[in-house]
Structure 1
């Protein structure tokens, strides 16, 4: 006979199973040993995104686009929200944090922060918002329920002239505790800021480490940076060291809490753009989407471990993989940043760069990024391409226009097939899909499909259908005063589903 406490435990277990849908309560046959079931992949039910403060220029105009692909529901069929809200405050990490409780119009900052900048109404259709000027804060976003799986947001800023001119694009990032940014700089011609955004209700404490060609750039100023709850701060990295270096790797970690991190890089001659974090250190890395008309490409790599890395370079083009003449290998010393000028490596043909261990080297994990320049003279413009993971099951990039988008698809190993879907437009239009086959070791650069009857902007979703891993990037171009301003966003797996282990309960533990 079972005790009262045992019966209570059974009732609790039944209730838990009803809520989660994950547990099985049938008593095992043939013995009392619980048997694990195959793990299931289920849609995530909550996703966070962080968009850094868009700029330091009064001339900046910023467009926000948020999107959730249709067809994968988390939670119930109708429940959930997806909103981007202004952070409480954004400013220099060393600035005086005091501010008035009221703005000039008498509206509290809290009231302004509570009104969504972007609010998504339904999956499958983008929602948009905008901001102007230098004082626009970082945004903190949360998607729940049916809006969470695959939720993405794009922040695109246009600065037509002056300091930091250019088209600056970034796919808003998920909060984390560890970020690597190769291709930053403390050179006199550069003005690079690390932007840190804290989505949580308690303060986060972050450290910023810098590594140049000769190793660590020692500084106590980058230690213990407090990022207030629900706020963003920015740090000019040249103030963290007295040494000027063309190639610097920035390492952001948190002691407490988590943050979103990105680097806003600006150059006197080539303009500005966002540098997002490299994929986690790996022995082989892929940097997809070098534009066909790139006039200058610079590779920057860093080996965070205790071993040096010997890397072979492979350019994956339209017809196959080639080793760039004169740029066959790159030696990266442990804890030192290495750079290589690849010049106009693509020579009129879009491509992707793959770094692999050389025959003499072992698979030493590295992080890497490309600094890409298009145009010449006063019409130069810059963008950055970090090493990125494969598309996986699905990846999405928002803020595509009727013209100006190029999608690069790279199959570094086996051949692959992907499905590309252009969503409905933010103001109207019918979704369109197209299938592409990518040969092994090649890059296919295409003008992506556009929704029928497009009004506004739209999202592109890439799904791997068969074959090997595919890496992808979207280049967005906007011509301003004769300058082809551009930005590149990579498309790693959206992690819209999570593996949930299933287990069979052993009810024998409830027996007296």
Structure 2
């Protein structure tokens, strides 16, 4: 079961509990013979999990909560982030400074973000829940800046929904990498998790990754190198909860080149889009995995401002069944930002794959690394928050058909007013926009994307940047996906035949 399925089931259950069965309407003649239509309703409850930001004394972490303005909502509600009562490290429960149950951040208004900067070295994983009008489209950004020292990096993650199945292509157990998969359990019952690792020769045999116990309301960081007998540069992790549900994300660090959160890629598919490659990237590495019984022969295309090209020397990638394949694309951009598009070489083939990019900017001591997983389309609406400064880089890709996207820039956490702009994306291109907040906006602000109907699917990401003390440019990239702020609930009608004998 994939992530969207689990979140949808949770939303339906919550909607039924809070609002009851959809209102019955008096039927016209013959209504009982017609199938009931499904009506889109705003979800009434959303859950998000944020992994622990780390314990560096130099870290500065900001949490920003945002719920976009949603029509059809009323009443009161709130969005609350609370520290997990326990965090498990090396098999032991570690006491946390924040008192269990005490909210770290609470929001009660749509359309305006709320932020908090706790002591990063003492902040555990967070469990969040939004209700009522705050639930549809609720998003939380966790951004950690370490601008000096061995841990220098800008790490960003959009906190994720609990589920049972996660794909993490691009993880590594190489000697210069330190990858921890954070497994967070939001429920008051224990979860059991298996982690399988797949390399260039297939699955790495290990019993250590089976039956990992995640206590109630806890997080367990697992160092991936402890699950394999030898270092492997390119791996794919498949995380499954055999009991309960979790959220999984990888804190990946590269010695001398910073690091970032590697979040789960979209579900396996024959065609994938990885949006938001910076034009000044100095290293780009594609990692892909074919989970099915067939090999995947992939065509590699680079969508840029004017067109979608097949890069010379990097035209294709063969990914064998059950194995992880990789491809260096260091010179693909030629200084121009864009997005990677993967599709079958044979149009009749539909072999599913998962994929992610490891992207490096800078050289020598000024290197910094981020990750771009394959992402699903924006769909009806998507939001991302935690934007700061005069502008942020927004990437929109429309590989199949032209599209127009309405982008609402919210007020800031410390003032300002929302503004809306429309961006056009020609067919087969990827457009990078430096989006500015409205006049007078202060603090963190949010972006909400809503593609106009009639256009092709849009894929999106947001890039944040910061400066290290050394002058190095630090960055992090987050994909934007459909927020699933509505759920379709079948309408009911009276049918007295159900009382007949």
**Alpha-carbon displacement from aligned partner over 1:61-90 (angstroms, at most 9, x marks no partner):** 11000000013354xx23211011101112
Does residue 239 (structure 1) correspond to residue 226 (structure 2)? The answer is yes
Q: Give the Cα separation in 1 of the matches to 2:438 and 2:30.
A: 57
Counterpart of 1:472 (choices 460, 475, 493) is 460
Residue 60 of structure 1 corresponds to which residue in structure 2?
59
Residue 35 of structure 1: how far off its partner (Å): 2.4
Q: Give the Cα separation in 1 of the matches to 2:189 and 2:91.
A: 20
Counterpart of 1:113 (choices 81, 100, 109) is 100
**Alpha-carbon displacement from aligned partner over 1:127-159 (angstroms, at most 9, x marks no partner):** 111223433200100001000000000000011
Structural RMSD (CA): 1.9
Instruction: In structure 1, list runs of 5 or more residues that go unmatched.
Output: 1-15, 104-108
Residue 164 of structure 1: how far off its partner (Å): 2.9
Residue 68 of structure 2 corresponds to which residue in structure 1?
69
Does residue 283 (structure 1) correspond to residue 270 (structure 2)? The answer is yes
Equivalent residues of 1:306, 1:334 under 8 A apart: yes
**Alpha-carbon displacement from aligned partner over 1:23-77 (angstroms, at most 9, x marks no partner):** 435356248x442232111111110000000014222111000000013354xx2
SS of aligned partner of 1:429: coil
Residue 259 of structure 1 corresponds to which residue in structure 2?
246
The equivalences for 1:170-249 within 5 A come to 170-249=157-236
Equivalent residues of 2:181, 2:248 under 8 A apart: yes
Instruction: In structure 2, list runs of 5 or more residues that go unmatched.
Output: 1-15
Q: Give the Cα separation in 2 of the matches to 1:468 and 1:402.
A: 31
SS of aligned partner of 2:365: helix
Q: Give the Cα separation in 2 of the matches to 1:295 and 1:73.
A: 47
Q: Give the Cα separation in 1 of the matches to 2:17 and 2:488.
A: 17
Does residue 150 (structure 1) correspond to residue 137 (structure 2)? The answer is yes
Q: Give the Cα separation in 2 of the matches to 1:434 and 1:81.
A: 28
Q: Give the Cα separation in 1 of the matches to 2:92 and 2:220.
A: 12
Q: Give the Cα separation in 1 of the matches to 2:240 and 2:277.
A: 29
SS of aligned partner of 1:134: helix
Bigger-Rg structure (1/2): 1
SS of aligned partner of 1:455: coil
Task: Show structure 1 runs of 4+ deviating over 6 A.
Answer: none
Equivalent residues of 1:312, 1:328 under 8 A apart: yes
The equivalences for 1:65-104 within 5 A come to 65-74=64-73, 77-92=74-89, 94-97=90-93
SS of aligned partner of 2:467: strand
Q: TM-score, normalised by structure 1?
A: 0.91
The verdict on how the C-alpha distance between 1:255 and 1:298 changes in structure 2, with shifts beyond 3 A counting, is same
Does residue 49 (structure 1) correspond to residue 48 (structure 2)? The answer is yes
Residue 437 of structure 1: how far off its partner (Å): 0.7
Residue 314 of structure 1 corresponds to which residue in structure 2?
301
Residue 509 of structure 1: how far off its partner (Å): 2.2
Q: Give the Cα separation in 1 of the matches to 2:478 and 2:497.
A: 54
SS of aligned partner of 1:504: coil
The equivalences for 1:430-441 within 5 A come to 430-441=417-428
Equivalent residues of 1:310, 1:361 under 8 A apart: no
SS of aligned partner of 2:100: helix
Residue 22 of structure 2 corresponds to which residue in structure 1?
22
Does residue 302 (structure 1) correspond to residue 320 (structure 2)? The answer is no
Q: TM-score, normalised by structure 2?
A: 0.93
Equivalent residues of 2:108, 2:134 under 8 A apart: no
Does residue 393 (structure 1) correspond to residue 380 (structure 2)? The answer is yes
**Alpha-carbon displacement from aligned partner over 1:157-192 (angstroms, at most 9, x marks no partner):** 011223332000000000000000001000000000
Residue 492 of structure 2 corresponds to which residue in structure 1?
503
Residues paired across the two proteins, number: 484
Residue 244 of structure 1: how far off its partner (Å): 0.7
Residue 19 of structure 1: how far off its partner (Å): 5.2
Residue 403 of structure 1: how far off its partner (Å): 3.0
Residue 487 of structure 1 corresponds to which residue in structure 2?
476
Q: Give the Cα separation in 1 of the matches to 2:208 and 2:494.
A: 53
Equivalent residues of 1:118, 1:128 under 8 A apart: yes
SS of aligned partner of 1:452: coil
Equivalent residues of 2:152, 2:468 under 8 A apart: no
